[in-house]
Chain A
């Protein structure tokens, strides 16, 4: 009965028996917020357009100057090379926007989670609920985006169907890491840092040109960062270029997901149950 803080923390964070009802209630809260506040819709819609605008301006526009491109042992229009990358990016930004911006606000300002934790809901259930919601948002973006790709002839229907589950994994992985980031943020100024990191990944992760075009040291650096793996996985599946490498990329994202969730649940426990 004599308890220490450490013991208390580990029991609450790691005990099995996650309640799906309570995870569902955490998600339900966001559905309610979507229904009641118009502001959420604006955020939701604007988040979708960014990758699409890049696809049109750079993929199609610059693509007209660049012409065809040879990668993965085949030749394709430049837009077809860029499109799967923008797809991976929209999975990333959709999930990250939710688990960083929105979760941080709820954590730090609205104290939404403090209210939740006076009920049977546990920190780990909050983490699962928010991640699921973020993934729904990311996947909504990618589903529409895939529709656009098929309509523009940038991906075959079969490729689009194969890539969709991969985009879900991308949302999950980035969402989980986003949750951890939210628990580490000190204030809004840290978002500048996050944005810069996200933008750097967006430019260099094999999005607009094959990574082999960069010097070797840069190529190695890029291969360590997560968006590269997301782009390669999604592009391989949507173009139908299969290989063992895809499993490696998927494994990278799975590890990201597991580690992100584990840290997030732990950090939330520490922040919210001092």
Chain B
């Protein structure tokens, strides 16, 4: 569905995407993770054929985005990072007008609009203007809009940023249903739980490059330990680095964060016993399973004490 080799995007002298290779198979749910400015949106814009690659090879649905942009975009559903809904139109008209851009008939546009309004639970707001909607409602409308052409690939740039937990779960469920229907999903996110829930496979980007790739499970296995011990100290704010130094050698890795120290070990309880044996007295302790978040923190460079 999507094939990119050595893809580069430059803005003037600045390189936003610096030679990435990506392949997405039909029906797959693929994620881009990465800190702010990693180049996720720039990559998504190239895949949505609104921004031309500076260099490298890119094929979407077997076509060249520069030559066949119009034909490719006809089969994509794009939910950009910022919803740019039309403030002069009602909720329903936002969908029907959008349908016309794809060359759908008025009747077909109305039919799909109503169906999608049900799908994202906005039927009762159909006649409202866009402005008074809440952030979550706008987001849902943007996602509904992205699906008006029954796309083969749906591209979602941070689909659930700013939503309350209920709205997020509703969206996840809707996206999961899309996936079950065989739609290919490509999304970016800052939420590790979202990536774990939705993505079959993901890449972690940092500074325009891909720094890791795999399924959520395999990434955790490769880049983290089975368990993580979170330790907080009463005077930790300034001294976390010192505490971390005193713990060096315990487990696989020690990582001082501003508010806590993370201790990566396959056996968390054994590591904790060793911490106490060295005379350290944390004010609170949590032993938990490793998550994608730990992988993310590790890969995208917090100060590490190995």
Interface residues in chain A, defined as those with a beta carbon under 8 Å from any beta carbon in chain B:
1-5, 7-9, 11-12, 19, 21-22, 24-26, 28-29, 32-33, 36-37, 40, 110-112, 114-122, 272-274
Contact = CB atoms under 8 A, between A and B. Distances in A.
Contact of A119 (B11, B64, B90, B98): B98
A5 B82 CA distance: 24
Given A36-B90, A40-B88, A4 B55 contact: yes
A258 B78 CA distance: 33
Contact of B103 (A22, A118, A122): A22
Contact of A273 (B50, B84, B101): B50
Contact of B97 (A4, A19, A22, A28): A28
A28 B80 contact: no
A29 B50 contact: no
Nearest to A21: B103
Interface in B124-152: 129, 145-146, 149
Contacts of A3: 52-53, 55, 64, 66
A112 B98 CA distance: 11
Nearest to A119: B101
23 contacts: A2-B57, A3-B52, A3-B53, A8-B53, A25-B100, A25-B101, A28-B97, A29-B97, A29-B100, A36-B89, A36-B129, A110-B84, A112-B84, A112-B86, A114-B50, A115-B80, A115-B84, A115-B86, A117-B50, A118-B80, A120-B70, A120-B71, A272-B50
Contact of A33 (B53, B88, B100, B101): B88
B224 interface: no
Given A8-B66, A118-B50, A118-B78, 12 more contacts: A1-B64, A2-B55, A3-B52, A3-B55, A5-B52, A8-B52, A21-B103, A37-B88, A114-B50, A117-B50, A119-B101, A122-B69
Contacts of B97: 25, 28-29, 32
Interface of A is mostly: helix
A24 B67 CA distance: 23
Interface string B68-106: 011101101010101011111110010011101111000
Nearest to B57: A1
B51 interface: yes
Interface of B: 11, 48, 50-57, 64, 66-67, 69-71, 73-74, 76, 78, 80, 82, 84-90, 93, 96-98, 100-103, 129, 145-146, 149
Contacts of A119: 73-74, 98, 101-102, 149
Nearest to A39: B88
Contacts of A25: 97, 100-101, 103
A3, A22, A111, A114 — most chain B CB neighbours (10 Å):
A3
Contacts of B146: 118
Given A29-B89, A40-B88, A110-B86, A120 B73 contact: yes
Contacts of B78: 118
Contacts of B82: 111
B205 to A, nearest CB: 19
A2 B100 CA distance: 33
A110 B87 CA distance: 7
A112 B89 CA distance: 11
A11 B55 CA distance: 16
Contacts of A2: 55-57
